[in-house]
Structure 1
C-alpha cells in the first residue's frame, strides 16, 4: 500500500509538472505603435494631402462658375496626386487604421469619378454634392494619420 501511494504521488507530481510547463502566463502585448521610418514616410506626404484639402474651395468655385474644363483639370491634377499620396501612406498605418484608410481612399475615388461625370454632363448640383463628400473623405483620412509631436504642441 505504501508503494502504491508513492507511485501515485509520483504520477501526480509528473502530471502537475507537465501541466505547469505547458501552461504559460499570458504576456500583455503593448499596443502597436509607429516606427520612426513609418512616421517619416507618412509625414512626407501629409503636407501635400493637406494642401489639396485646403484648395477644395477652388473646386467649388469652378463648379459654381460651370468651368467644367478646369474642374476636370483639378480632378485629374491635384486631387489625383493627393489620392496617389494616400496610397503611399496607407501601408505605413497601423493595421486597425489601414482598412479604414483603404476604404476612405476608395470612397474618395468614387466621388471624384462622380464629379468628373457631373462635369461631363454639366450637372453642378451633383458635382457640388460630391465635392462635399470629397472634403469629408479627405478629413476622415487626415484624422487617421498619427499626430507628430510638433502638431500635438500647436
Structure 2
C-alpha cells in the first residue's frame, strides 16, 4: 500500500510539473510594424519605382511602333533600375512581406526577359502582353509597400 502511494505521489508531481510548465503567463507581443528609419529607407526608393510605373504607356507605344532598340533601352534602363529599387525595398519590408516582394521582383525579371525575346523576333503581341504583366507586377509590389502613416515601433 505504501508503495502505491509513493508511485501515485510521484505521478501527481510529474503531472503538476508538466501543467505548470505549460501554463505560464501568456505575454502578448504586438505585431511587427515599420520603424521610421525603415519607412525612410523604403520611401527613398519608391518614387523611382512609381516613375517607371507611370511610363507604362511609353513602353507600349515603343512596342506598337516597333522601335525595338528603344524597347531594349527601356527594359535595360528604367525598368532594370526599378527592379533594383524593388530589391532594396524588399529587404526593408516586414518579414512576412519579404517573400512576396522577392517573388514579384523575380516575376518582373522574367517578364523583362520575355519582352527582350519578343523584341528580338519582332513579336508585338508577345512584347505587349509581357509589358502589361510586368507593370501589373510593379502595381502588386507597390501594394506591399507601406505608406508613411504606418505606426512606428520596432520590428522583431
TM range (shorter): 0.7 to 0.9
Q: Which residue in the other structure is 1:72 paired with? A: 72
Q: Which residue in the other structure is 2:128 paired with? A: 128
Q: Which residue in the other structure is 2:108 paired with? A: 108
What is the aligned residue count?
148
Q: In the superposition, relative to structure 1, how do residues 110 and 15 fare at CA in structure 2: closer, same or farther (>3 Å)?
A: closer
Write out the 4+ residue segments of structure 1 that deviate beyond 2 Å after TM superposition: 10-23
Greater relative CO (CA pairs within 8 A, separation 6+): 2
Q: Which residue in the other structure is 1:37 paired with? A: 37
CA-atom RMSD in angstroms: 2.4
SS in 2 for 1:96: coil
CA distance in 2, matches of 1:104, 1:59: 20
| Unaligned stretches of 5+ residues in structure 2 | 1-5, 151-156
CA distance in 1, matches of 2:53, 2:137: 10
CA distance in 1, matches of 2:41, 2:144: 15
Residues 100-136 of structure 1: per-residue CA shift (max 9 Å, x gap): 0100000000000000000011000000000110111
Flag the structure with higher helix content. Answer: 1
Query: TM-score scaled to structure 2, two decimals?
Result: 0.83
SS in 2 for 1:149: coil
TM-superposed deviation, 1:149:
2.7
1:28 and 2:28 correspond: yes
Query: TM-score scaled to structure 1, two decimals?
Result: 0.84
Residues 4-61 of structure 1: per-residue CA shift (max 9 Å, x gap): xxx9xx9899779855753411211111101111111000000010000001110000
